[in-house]
Amino acid sequence: MSLEIKVPPVGESISEVTLSRWIKKDGDYVEMDEVIAELESDKATFELTAERAGTLKTIAQEGDTLEIGAVVCTVEEGGSQAVPETVAEAEVGGQEPVATETTSLEIKVPPVGESISEVVLSRWLKAEGEVVAMDEQIAELESDKATFELTAEAAGVLKYVASEGDTLEIGAVVCKIESGSGAAAPAKQASQASTNSQPAAQADKSYAAGTPSPSAAKILAEKGVNASAVSGTGVGGRITKEDALKAEAKKAEAPKPASAPKAAAPQATSFSGDRNERREKMSGLRKTIAKRLVSVKNETAMLTTFNEVDMKPIMDIRAKYKDKFKETHGVGLGFMSFFTKAVCEAMKDFPAVNARIEDEQIVYSDFVDVSIAVSAPKGLVVPVIRNAEQLSLAGIEKAVVELAGKARENKLTIEEMTGGTFTITNGGVFGSMLSTPIINAPQSAILGMHNIVERPVAIGGQVVIRPIMYVALSYDHRIIDGRESVGFLVKVKQLLEDPTRLLLGV
């Protein structure tokens, strides 16, 4: 007698799901309430469990889109659970199996912030079956705001539950750690067998071969070095931090072969002429970012206003005082501090630019927490400078340097990524002339900086060449009127073109 397992109701607005992954295979024996598959909707990923014990017979395939109530598989009554291999070997040898006690601890996705409901398992740092120590880093999790590490809550043998690329809700099980004699013995036996049967020269064939440590992976990612091109000298062939540093130096010092054909370099990026296409599944992180951006466009009355700024006064100040500034404060004098100070001053006259909508109420902040867009190895992140209105130019530059450094090393915390009241983004560092930046919800405005280009302008009836930057202010028209948006941007322009006003507060 077989029991049909159907797609359960998962929400009023959800009519279909995708079978993303089978956790158990066709013909496996499953226990009642055991997780057998993962289903994915446009809002979340959840698990399908067996409604009774028996033999699994799959009906749907991975990647199939199923309506609510559709049959996913059947569980046939009968069958028996597979006998563990170690027990079978003991019975063949005429020995009775030795009873072992094993405890299993589930490692779940921890709460990482009020506004974050799901994360993506971006990378396993430890291999399945590997013995891990308590508090050892075992995986990297990504949200749409930051990357953080998952640690082992106990010592034991690691058993995967989720796979790399899976989208997991807060509280979902990521893996299990088995401890006790039953878990330690197989790991110890495997280690001894490997040591006795394989010479040292064969160590690079283990699971660790070619796998970088967390610090080495970050170094290789920042420098664009492929791990497959690096030889690991660590245990089992693992790539250590020193290996990564040497690989960088070797790559930088290696001369270009004189005989190498010029056409070889662009080979990977040139079109072959064949009409081939490839499809890649969107990562959970990219899906989340896409949903948020579309949500902002659909749920706000977003409009953008533009102006231009003559950057010569600020560039003259930087040229005159940059060396003395760095000698005194220990940081360089950049443009971001001037723009941040100008924004904070302009908000005194136009507080709506620093406000937000919550439950049909407008919330005005008596402080300015400026979010700054920073390019990180895994994409653009937006850390926050707290109470920017109280900081000096040097204080702002120090905060920018600190946050940018953490972003490049993937060390930003959730607290450093949330709570901004206004955002500044600088597309000019990539050569952008003009753009319409998208608001960083729930904020109501964002200022876009762009590249500085020498252009002819009329000053005092004469045509002169000046370094000009176009600036753009995208804002939510539900809170900010046209008069306020234009007035705010004009005020920012006036302060930047006469930086003395920033020092005098006028």
Catalytic annotation, pick one of 33, 166, 481, 498: 481
Catalytic annotation, pick one of 166, 476, 477, 498: 477
Q: How far apart are CA 122 and CA 418, in angstroms?
A: 21
| φ, ψ for residue 42, nearest 5 deg | -75, 0
Q: Which two tokens stand for residue 417?
A: 């990524």
Q: How far apart are CA 334 and CA 450, in angstroms?
A: 14
CB 131 within 8 A of CB 187: yes
- 70 DSSP assignment: -
Integer-rounded Cα Rg, in Å, for the chain is: 29
Element (H, E) at 87: helix 85-92
Q: How far apart are CA 25 and CA 212, in angstroms?
A: 31
Residue 481 annotated in active site: yes
Across the chain, which distance is largest between two alpha carbons, in Å?
105
By three-state DSSP, how is residue 237 classified?
Answer: helix
Q: How far apart are CA 45 and CA 471, in angstroms?
A: 41
| φ, ψ for residue 132, nearest 5 deg | -120, 150
Peptide bond into 383 cis (omega under 30): no
> Among all residues, which ones are annotated catalytic?
477, 481
